[in-house]
Structure 1
Amino acid sequence: MFARLYHFLRPLLAVLCAAAASPGSAEPEAVERGRYLVTAGNCASCHTAVAGAFMAGGVAFETPFGTLYSTNITPDLATGLGDWTEADFRAAMRDGVRPDGGHLYPAFPYTAYTQLTDEDLSAIWAYLRAVPPVESTPPANELAFPFDQRPLLAAWKLLYHEPGPFEPDPARSEAWNRGAYLVEALGHCSACHSPRNRLGAEQADLRHAGGEYLDRVPGGGFRPWFAPNLTAHPRGLALWRHEDLTAYLATGRNAFLEAFGPMNEVIMNSTRYLDPADIDAMATYLKALPAAGGGAAEEAPGEELMGRGRSLYNLHCGTCHLPSGEGDPEMAPRLNRGSLVVQGANPASLINVILYGPEVAGADPARQWLKPMKAYRYLLDDREVAAVATYIRNTWDNAAGVVAPAQVERQRQAGAGGR
């Protein structure tokens, strides 16, 4: 009975709490610190829809279980977090539980945010209370049965959720520990860069070894993308120096490539605003990750397939990327010796950029390509795209395996109608 009475009185209690702890009552230092932490967590990318109000939710996430929509996290009383308490917020971030006791879907990465310190959670809460409230109700989730049954998430959490704050490793440097906190807790990088099992949980033994997920391509519609291997694997971050990684996180561009696709939002909304010391710490941690993933020998392409791919490459790609694959600082990125996209265990992202063209981040206006790459989905058929992708992945110093026409067809057709 008490629970029902509390539920009835909750809106009134929330109004009284909001009046007692209005956004203006928070310490400016806490709000500013919260702003930085929210930026480091890239919250805006997931909670701000295209042409939508800041943090008002409604961003669609396509998953194997259906479509999820991000929530309104502005302090609006009716549709946002206006009737939440800080304790409610902590429960959501640490335990993935809503104020009504319902379980949150792990598309919201509470499995990473649980590691945040109490001080950082308080600062984030102070900042979110200072965001202008917006009355906006996101669409209802569209999940298949039984995945639309939130109580089942209790069992999922028993299997895959380990709540608790980050514990620094005393055997590691201060920079390593800071980087670990930023990468594993705030940045939740493993959410995209790790493969998942059939229940949507990250595979712990392949953490950061690269992962496939659905996201938009230029022109709309969702397609599979592959987030590269961030470990010291020979086809992962072993290919980059520390300085290559810091440049990429700070500007979206280094000697090997410029960010495109889903990584654009990470660069443009998050990492480029971080303090250089924090970017350096992230690189320190990532470069220390032991090699994971791979292992199986890749199929070597035949002479005929490589010859067909070479002809297509020289006709369509060689002018900008050069016949040597070394690229040009003004014309096109390097395809040889260091492209994590080219070397990926899964060619989905490479196929996407050939089919749909890249939407580059553009975080460094002083360094832009003279001629943006065009889309080839109407110029090349599946066999031709597979051939040129295979050639790029297996010539010069690359050895990343064959791309099959069926893989190209998948990237054309998967989610072709969009949402």
Structure 2
Amino acid sequence: MARRLRIITGIAAVVLVAGAAAGFGVAWRPSIAAIAPPRPDTFNPDLVKRGRDLAAIGNCNTCHTVRGGGNYAGGLPVPTPFGTVFSSNITPDAATGIGGWPEAAFVRAMRSGVSRDGRHLYPTFPYDHFTNVSDADDRALYAFLMTRQPVSASPPANQLSFPFNYRPLIAGWKLLYFHGGDVPSDAAKGAEWNRGAYLVEGLAHCGACHTPRNALGAERVNAQFSGGEVDNWHAYALNDTSHAPVRWTAEALYAYLRHGWQPDHGTARGPMAEVVSNLSSVPDSDVRAIAAYMADISGAPAPDGKRPADAVAQPSPAVAAQADPAGAAIYAAACASCHESNRPLPYGGVNLALSTAVTSPDPRNLANIVLTGVGAVEGERSPIMPGFAASIDDAQMAALLNYLRVRFGKRPAWNDLDKAVRDARAAQAVSVAAREAPAESSQRGKP
């Protein structure tokens, strides 16, 4: 009996040691020796310029710049269901940034989500998309970042609950969900479509916001582009489940991504406003490629030959006013003069019967827009709208949103609208102060 117990104990010990060794082998990554920060003049100017365009497509400045901090110096809080992750400093500062990173370390971070010192990076840095970026584009990005102004700045410590604060567990997450080589390719669709697929599925990482996630924070591959959540905004579905009143065309998407607004679809707000601000400075061909690919994802528009605005049923103000008289009165006093002016964007308000914010099953975006408004872009022709956070209370806000839903959305009433309004107001002050920098034309050309 004792002999059998010793054998069983020995086998169990071997299994445990083997398991620990296997776990260590999966989680451990070697560090890469630091280098002296390369001089900016050692990089080809054309390569740096190309890297600048790629950084704009990747929206790098948005996540790696906190308001009041240095460009690309990190420190931006990224809320997750597991706690808050702070973005890293990616300036060429040797002590707190990536100045000591050789190109091989930068490429490993992009491809594998591993820092120069061998630590696994949290997937708030979307390396599950960046793994699809080519060697040439990684090299250009590295050249661009290494020629930025070094900023000495260390981000705050991440605020994650146990066990999510234990980085080796990320290796297990990667085994389950991190798979590269997912860029679709179809020679029959042409070079523009394939370029768009490469950008959307890689550096632009559109699915990171527009795809729902599972309980462990990974994108649900069976629901790609079906809509996601970011910073108390709902990232709309971009596939054939979209709630847009009219289908997106490649031309409409191009105008929206290039200018931040489109007459039949409205104005980019929230995190999407930051995306289009960056895209305004990149080559026209890349924006058209993204639009071509995403239009194909969203499905073909109805071939009835009508303008989108003509294809939408006219709203019924009388019925809506009966449903919510208080909301109707607020709309007449504060909204109708712009939204019923018959002036096209950007000089008038968007036709609310075409607004996805009104037809969406989630009221947060509409609440956010009414609260914060739409700021003008200095020196550019762009839509504007005042915010009403200080002029209407939560009950009035809910009445207005309900009226807009009934009159223009022609959809069932939103559930728990009062809570959505309270949450939007609570998040509004934080997001305005911490994340949304003023939309200035000078920012457009300096990604």
- Per the normalisation by structure 1, the TM-score is 0.83
Say if 2:289 is the partner of 1:276. Answer: no
In structure 2, the residue matched to 1:392 is 404
Deviation at 1:196, TM superposition (A): 1.6
In structure 2, the residue matched to 1:348 is 364
* Mapped partners of 1:34, 1:329: distance in 2: 33
Say if 2:200 is the partner of 1:191. Answer: no
1:209-244: CA deviation from partner (whole Å, max 9, x where unpaired): 221222xxxxxxxxx111122223452385333222
- Contact 2:348–2:383, Cα closer than 8 Å, also in 1: no
Gaps of 5+ in 1: 1-5, 215-223, 292-300
1:115-126 to 2 correspondences below 5 Å = 115-126=132-143
2:118 to 96, 101, 108: 101
Q: Secondary structure of 1:195's match?
A: coil
2:56 to 23, 34, 39: 39
Deviation at 1:247, TM superposition (A): 1.1
Deviation at 1:413, TM superposition (A): 3.4
Deviation at 1:106, TM superposition (A): 0.8
Letter of the aligned partner of 1:262 in structure 2? P
1:245-276: CA deviation from partner (whole Å, max 9, x where unpaired): 111111112114222222221122x2101222
Say if 2:95 is the partner of 1:83. Answer: no
* Mapped partners of 1:171, 1:366: distance in 2: 38
* Mapped partners of 1:62, 1:50: distance in 2: 16
1:167/1:231 Cα in 2 relative to 1: closer, same or farther (>3 Å)?
A: closer
- Contact 1:261–1:359, Cα closer than 8 Å, also in 2: no
Say if 2:276 is the partner of 1:267. Answer: yes
What's the RMSD between the two structures over aligned residues? Answer: 2.7
1:327/1:202 Cα in 2 relative to 1: closer, same or farther (>3 Å)?
A: farther
* Mapped partners of 1:226, 1:363: distance in 2: 27
Deviation at 1:114, TM superposition (A): 0.5
1:32-64: CA deviation from partner (whole Å, max 9, x where unpaired): 222221121111111122122221111121222
1:385/1:134 Cα in 2 relative to 1: closer, same or farther (>3 Å)?
A: same
- Contact 1:229–1:237, Cα closer than 8 Å, also in 2: no
Deviation at 1:347, TM superposition (A): 1.3
2:350 to 334, 342, 364: 334
In structure 2, the residue matched to 1:3 is none
* Mapped partners of 2:323, 2:145: distance in 1: 55
In structure 2, the residue matched to 1:296 is none
1:363/1:339 Cα in 2 relative to 1: closer, same or farther (>3 Å)?
A: farther
In structure 2, the residue matched to 1:52 is 69
Q: Highest Rg: 1 or 2?
A: 2
- Per the normalisation by structure 2, the TM-score is 0.78
1:380 to 377, 388, 392: 392
Letter of the aligned partner of 1:351 in structure 2? A
Number of equivalences: 382
Percent identity, aligned pairs only, is: 38
1:83/1:242 Cα in 2 relative to 1: closer, same or farther (>3 Å)?
A: same
1:150/1:310 Cα in 2 relative to 1: closer, same or farther (>3 Å)?
A: same
* Mapped partners of 1:237, 1:386: distance in 2: 22
Gaps of 5+ in 2: 1-29, 300-318, 435-447
1:334/1:364 Cα in 2 relative to 1: closer, same or farther (>3 Å)?
A: farther
* Mapped partners of 1:402, 1:167: distance in 2: 37
